[in-house]
Structure 1
């Protein structure tokens, strides 16, 4: 968010928690992108604040969290003191979560695979209407093919992303027997090492597809510890993931920090991933 919008988002998070009876003496910005994550001190709540245009996404994330809490999934939980719902204040959607202090260092590949195995097992125990991975690919392809929304994307790179997204999208449609609910983006930034063990966050990306789509977000060694995973499909899904990531970075309205770097790096990652697919 731009500084002026971030200030309003911080105040919306602070005011929402305070009105619910929580003490907020300070606010620490944990993450700032198109939505922000705020640590509220000393009540130790994590407030996720998004523009109200993202209200449906925030409500979906809260619903996913509620259902997964009932089946003991390894995910971050909503704060039990504030009601399991999204609060709207000053054109922002605010959800309040338990804050987990990070501990330790990097999560070992075998432990990463284990938490995804347990998470996928928990997801199979809930019933949820979630979009298919192919819907997300179609959204990214729409951005790439719309020059008004991605005006700075060079023609050669536009063609690369368009062909990658459309060509690899069929690899994620393995048939209903090979698909299930997924986290959607379980990359290292969305897996916290806490005193309770590794916990997944950012549940708004929940979707349906093959488990390899999730594994493609994890460190490469983790996929090798996941029993039954198709290693070739993981490679193709990784190329697809980088193509979607790159598509979002070239949007006119994208607000990811250091966007200029990631526009270039994302395309480099797409090319490297496609090269690996060709050599696999």
Structure 2
């Protein structure tokens, strides 16, 4: 967020929690992008604060968390001392979660795969109206194909991303027999190592698709520990995921830190992933 908007977001998170009876002496910014994550001290709460334009996404995330809590999924919990809903203040949508202090040890590939196996099993137990992964691909494709939305994307990169997004999306979705609810983006940044064990966060990306779409976000070693995974499909999904990631970075209004580096690196990763699939 821009500095002024960030200060307003921090204030909105602090006041909202305080008015709900939670003690807030300090606020630490954990993550700052198009929405922010705030550690509220000493009440032990994580506040997710997003512009009001993302209200629907925030409400969807809270609903996913509520339903997964009922089936013991390995996910971060909503703050139990307040109503499990999204609060609106000063043009921000605010949700409150349990804060988990970091555990320094790394998550082994087998443990990573176990979390995804248990999470996918939990997702099969709930009924939720979630978008198909191809809807997300279509959103990325709109950014690529609209020069006003991505004015700095060079023509070779635009062609690469457009062809990859449209071609792989169609190929992967051709057979939907194995589709189910997914996390959507279970990359290492969304898997916390906690004293309760590894927990998934950022549940707003929940969508439908093959389990390989989720596995493609994890380190490559993880797929070998997930029984029944199609490794060729994982590689194709990884190329598609890098194409989506790259498409978001070339948006005119993208706010990811170190965006210029990831613009170039994203295109490089797409080419490498396509070569790995034999599609370069």
Matches within 5 A, 1:241-252: 241-252=241-252
User: After superposition, what is the alpha-carbon deviation per residue over 1:57-116, rounded to whole angstroms, capped at 9, x for unaligned?
Assistant: 000000000000000000000000111000000000000000001113221000000000
User: After superposition, what is the alpha-carbon deviation per residue over 1:129-186, rounded to whole angstroms, capped at 9, x for unaligned?
Assistant: 0000000001100100000000000001000000000110023315342000000000
8 A contact 1:13–1:49 mirrored in 2: yes
User: After superposition, what is the alpha-carbon deviation per residue over 1:211-260, rounded to whole angstroms, capped at 9, x for unaligned?
Assistant: 00000000000011100000000000000000000000000111111101
8 A contact 1:171–1:236 mirrored in 2: no
User: Which residue of structure 2 aligns with residue 89 of structure 1?
Assistant: 89
Any idea what SS the aligned residue of 1:192 has? strand
User: Which residue of structure 2 aligns with residue 36 of structure 1?
Assistant: 36
User: Which residue of structure 2 aligns with residue 77 of structure 1?
Assistant: 77
CA separation in 1, counterparts of 2:258 and 2:50?
20
User: Which residue of structure 2 aligns with residue 115 of structure 1?
Assistant: 115
Tell me by how many angstroms 1:279 deviates.
7.7
User: After superposition, what is the alpha-carbon deviation per residue over 1:39-72, rounded to whole angstroms, capped at 9, x for unaligned?
Assistant: 0000010000000000000000000000000000
**Residues 121 and 20 of structure 1, relative CA distance in 2, 3 Å threshold:** same
Q: Does 1:21 align with 2:21?
A: yes
Structure 1 residue ranges (4+ consecutive) displaced by more than 4 angstroms after TM superposition: none
Matches within 5 A, 1:138-157: 138-157=138-157
User: Which residue of structure 2 aligns with residue 264 of structure 1?
Assistant: 264
Any idea what SS the aligned residue of 1:54 has? helix
CA separation in 1, counterparts of 2:160 and 2:247?
11
User: Which residue of structure 2 aligns with residue 274 of structure 1?
Assistant: 274
Q: Does 1:217 align with 2:182?
A: no
TM-score normalised according to structure 2 size? 0.99
CA separation in 1, counterparts of 2:249 and 2:207?
21
User: Which residue of structure 1 aligns with residue 180 of structure 2?
Assistant: 180
Any idea what SS the aligned residue of 2:75 has? coil
8 A contact 2:141–2:247 mirrored in 1: yes
CA separation in 2, counterparts of 1:253 and 1:105?
36
Any idea what SS the aligned residue of 1:171 has? helix
8 A contact 2:176–2:210 mirrored in 1: no
Which segment drifts farther, 165-174 or 19-28?
Answer: 165-174
What value does the CA root-mean-square deviation take over the aligned residues? 1.0
Any idea what SS the aligned residue of 1:26 has? strand
Any idea what SS the aligned residue of 1:136 has? helix
Any idea what SS the aligned residue of 1:129 has? coil
CA separation in 2, counterparts of 1:171 and 1:195?
41
